[in-house]
């Protein structure tokens, strides 16, 4: 059992607390941390709290954060890239917030916290304009311009109070942590090549051991939820699938009752033109049933993906949820990207794909890995 530092949560051999400066910041910082990030070994909000003299960290589920009165002052702002949010660096001294609210979590977690915490919805939003890509290379970020919580906090406070000392030292401590971890991982990767890997026994569902010509991996984008609509049920927007054995691909956009917002299209990496050939739910069911054979097994990453098909009466009875399969031995995994990394798989390149196609490629890679590595079945 390795001894840990309970300030930075790193093993004592990788502790970097002595490198973290103590900064007297003028702007009050309130970090709202999604509870899923609390125990992550590489979470940087703890470093920010340790460094800043004027900082408070609150951890909780969305519902907890929404029900309690948060310590938000009168001249506060939310660091969040809303469509109309001005850049912090463009604010005059009189326009700058006295308190900055920062959300610590994945992009999905951040969006749901803003959605579920009424106090945040009343705040003005501010954004950053990063001059260079983030350096958080030990955790997967959504894109090259994404920043860790520490990097985002430093960039925001540097714009609000450039006269304050310590920002470079804090980034240097952060880079020390990243470099030490990468060096540590590289050392252990070399060590692992010196002895054969012992394959662990896994209890795989029998349905995953079928002939690969019968396995169809699928992913679907859903209509965005509508605030205040308790009767809302998500419907498929963009549905893609691949037959594992032959590699045949299915792709279809469905007509929407209301046009999707610019934000939703950007998230899905789609354009309005992609819906020129969109089909009705009836046409989709016909095309989908032509692709999906009677004895096929549908494989989806999340239960909600299968439920999208159920909403339009197109869901097969036989299906497998990958998240449940991996959940038996990979607890704490929050995303497909994290799962691929944990299993030592490379994330397929995006190469201009829309989000559904890219996530389908990741799911296909997972299924092939399960069959080849844990079931010892050769792929057809």
C-alpha of 216 from chain center: 24
68-102 burial code (b ≥16 CB/10 A, e <16): eebebeeebbbbbeeeebeebbeeeeeebbebbbb
Is residue 94 pLDDT above 80, yes or no? yes
Higher pLDDT: 143 or 121? It is 121
Ordered structural domains, the chain, with CATH: 12-184 (3.40.1280), 206-374 (3.30.420.10)
374 CB neighbour count, 10 Å cutoff: 18
Contact of 31 with 84, CB cutoff 8 Å: no
Q: Which pLDDT score is estimated for 196?
A: 45
Is residue 139 pLDDT above 50, yes or no? no
Is residue 128 pLDDT above 60, yes or no? yes
Confidence of residue 8 (pLDDT cuts 50, 70, 90): low
pLDDT tens digit sequence for 35-66: 888 766 667 888 899 999 999 999 998 888 98
Is residue 194 pLDDT above 90, yes or no? no
Among 258, 256, 221, 224, which Cα is nearest to 236's? 221
> What share of the chain in percent tops pLDDT 90?
41
Tokens of 128: 């950053």
Q: Which pLDDT score is estimated for 377?
A: 43
**pTM, rounded to two decimals:** 0.48
The pLDDT mean for the chain works out to 82
Q: Which pLDDT score is estimated for 350?
A: 80
Higher pLDDT: 356 or 2? It is 356
What's the rounded mean pLDDT across residues 162-175?
A: 90
pLDDT tens digit sequence for 315-361: 888 888 887 776 655 555 667 787 777 777 888 888 788 999 999 99
Higher pLDDT: 179 or 364? It is 364
> What share of the chain in percent tops pLDDT 70?
79
Higher pLDDT: 167 or 373? It is 167
Contact of 93 with 272, CB cutoff 8 Å: no
Contact of 71 with 32, CB cutoff 8 Å: no
Q: Which pLDDT score is estimated for 318?
A: 85
pLDDT tens digit sequence for 225-242: 766 555 667 889 999 999
End-to-end alpha carbon distance in the chain = 43
pLDDT tens digit sequence for 58-79: 999 888 898 889 999 999 999 9
Alpha helices in 195-280 (DSSP H): 262-268
Confidence of residue 251 (pLDDT cuts 50, 70, 90): very high
Confidence of residue 157 (pLDDT cuts 50, 70, 90): very high
Q: Which pLDDT score is estimated for 227?
A: 61
């Amino acid at each position: 059992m390795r001894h840990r530092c309970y300030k930075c949560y790193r093993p004592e051999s990788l502790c970097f607390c002595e490198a973290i400066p103590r900064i007297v910041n003028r702007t009050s910082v309130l970090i709202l941390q999604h509870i899923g990030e609390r125990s992550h070994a590489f979470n940087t909000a703890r470093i920010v709290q340790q460094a800043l003299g004027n900082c408070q960290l609150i951890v909780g589920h969305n519902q907890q954060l929404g029900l309690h009165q948060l310590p938000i002052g009168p001249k506060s702002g939310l660091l969040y890239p809303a469509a109309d949010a001005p850049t912090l660096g463009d604010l005059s001294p009189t326009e700058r917030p006295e308190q900055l609210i920062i959300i610590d979590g994945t992009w999905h977690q951040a969006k749901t916290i803003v959605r579920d915490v009424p106090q945040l919805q009343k705040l003005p939003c501010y954004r950053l304009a990063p001059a260079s890509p983030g350096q958080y290379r030990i955790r997967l970020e959504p894109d090259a311009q994404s920043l860790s919580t520490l990097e985002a906090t430093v960039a925001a406070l540097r714009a609000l109070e450039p006269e304050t000392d310590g920002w470079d030292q804090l980034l240097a401590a952060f880079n020390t942590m990243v470099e030490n971890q990468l060096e540590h991982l590289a050392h252990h990767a070399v060590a692992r090549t010196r002895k054969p890997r012992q394959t662990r026994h896994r209890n795989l569902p029998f349905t995953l051991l079928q002939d690969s010509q019968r396995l169809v991996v699928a992913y679907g984008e859903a209509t965005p939820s509508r605030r205040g609509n308790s009767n809302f049920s998500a419907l498929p927007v963009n549905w893609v699938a691949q037959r594992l054995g032959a590699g045949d691909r299915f792709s279809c956009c469905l007509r929407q009752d209301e046009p999707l917002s610019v934000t939703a299209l950007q998230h899905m990496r789609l354009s309005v033109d992609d819906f020129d050939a969109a089909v009705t739910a009836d046409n989709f069911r016909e095309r989908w049933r032509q692709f999906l054979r009677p004895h096929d097994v549908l494989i989806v990453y999340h239960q909600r993906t299968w439920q999208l098909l159920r909403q339009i009466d197109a869901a097969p009875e036989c299906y497998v949820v990958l998240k449940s399969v991996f959940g038996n031995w990979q607890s704490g995994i929050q995303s497909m990207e994290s799962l691929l990394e944990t299993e030592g798989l490379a994330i397929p390149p995006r190469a201009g794909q829309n989000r559904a196609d890219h996530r389908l490629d990741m799911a296909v890679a997972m299924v092939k890995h399960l069959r080849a590595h844990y079931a010892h079945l050769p792929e057809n």
